[in-house]
Amino acid sequence: MSAEPNPSGRTSVELFAGGGGLAMAVHRSGFRPLLLNEFVKYACDTLEANGAESRGEDERIPELNDSAPLYRGDIRDLKMGYLEGAVDLLAGGPPCQPFSLGGIAKGDEDKRNMFPEMFRAIREIKPKAFICENVRGLLRPSFKPYFDYIVRELMFPFEERDPDATWLQHDAILRDKEQRGHAKSAERYQVFTFPVNAADYGVPQIRNRVIIVGFRGDLDIDIELLKGATRPTHSKLALLETMASGEYWERHNRVKGRAKIPSHVVEHVMSDAQATLPFEEGASDLMPWRTLRDALVGDEFSDPLPDVPWSKLDRRQYENMPKEHIGWPDARIYAGHTPNVLDRPAKTVKAGVHGVPGGESVMLTDSPVRGTRKPREYRHRYMTVRETARVMTFPDDWELRGPRGEQMRQLGNAVPVVLGQVFANAVATVLDDVQKRS
């Protein structure tokens, strides 16, 4: 998020920026950040380490070559009216604990619910478009009525809620406005919801989320263009077929610097894959899901991560190992927390109170436990911070600040960069199309 050329001229604001996943995605899609906001100290430190610059109370719009200004503090204290008319895309994922399956589930009664601040930001900034990411738990039957209310609030952000009114009372007003309102109003937004699995977009992780995208009502957008730009690009069926054909295994065995996959691992994985393949649904003409093994091997932009020796699970950063690729001792597999396996997308990276919870960040390796016979048992260890960052599609040069638990928490709270970029690119495509036709 350092100052870079921005030929498109598009601009953005990122709220609840966390460790920078969505902010990075938006920036990569050609939007110049005019403001970032984050409250958590270590997350702010991470943003600054990667090019953002604290701005204090200054309400100045940055110049073209300035670094992204970061407001370190509570969003409820942040005034954004000075940005009115200057922002193409407002992005953010309001804290989702009130709606998490693992959370307290108090919905709008929870003081951590920051959706009202997202509504206020839209009112003050009046962006051309917005992206809002959150947990799939918002779509649970018990929360669906409130989720529908959130969508209507995003449609009519200028219809402010009376402080003394319940959300149900305010929702009734919005429902009436929806039925009789004019769709082309500059004070109304067209809102689209996308339940997504990040693995369907090339992220090496099963991560089910809901992404909400909105465009200001006075913009003549092409809805089919938006839908086309956000279609899934990867599938499980395509992965299983590349395994069955042998292409997946051959590709990995050609990687320099990584040990070849033992035949017993291939046999073990394929015994499950062959049983699944005849019943699997999906489109095999898409690209294969990316697996945890794919993430560790890297791509054209990153080198393979070296294996962590069993003798080096000692919390030390070794000079011959990538930064934050640090072995951690005492990994355990807990009841109800099955480990990650190399030849499937990783499990959802979660953010506990003190980082990713125990069993969730454990991975099985290719090394069998000594003295065991079939069915084979494989040794396990904690994933490193760098491996977890790969699963979240953060680049290796992205610096994470704070102790290990805080780094893992930033990753667990983040939007995978590749997933965020799909939707930021889609918004850019739609806005470019509007400009061409205007």
| Neighbour tally for 410: CB within 10 Å | 29
Separation CA 84–CA 127 (nearest Å): 8
Q: Round to the nearest angstrom and report the end-to-end CA distance of the chain.
A: 30
Instruction: List, edge to edge, every strand of the sheet that includes 10-15.
Output: 53-54, 69-72, 31-38, 10-15, 89-92, 129-135, 208-216, 189-197
The residue whose two tokens read 């003394």 is: 164
> For residue 259, which phi and psi values (nearest 5 degrees)?
-65, 150
- CB contact at 8 A, 110 and 98: yes
Q: SS3 helix, strand, coil % of the chain, rounded to 5? A: 40, 15, 45
Residue 204 has φ and ψ, to the nearest 5°, of -80, 55
Beta strands in 274-431 (DSSP E): 287-288, 362-368, 378-382
The conformation of residue 31, written as its DSSP 8-state character, comes to E
Beta strands per DSSP E along 48-107: 53-54, 69-72, 89-92
Nearest one of 275, 264, 266, 260 to 243, comparing CA atoms? 266
- What are the structure tokens assigned to 180, written together? 């009789």
Q: Among positive and negative, which fits the CA dihedral 69, 75, 77, 79?
A: positive
Contact yes or no for 282/228 (Cβ under 8 A): no
Residue positions annotated with a catalytic role = 96
Length of the chain counted residue by residue: 438
- Phi first, then psi: what are they for 36, rounded to 5°? -120, 145
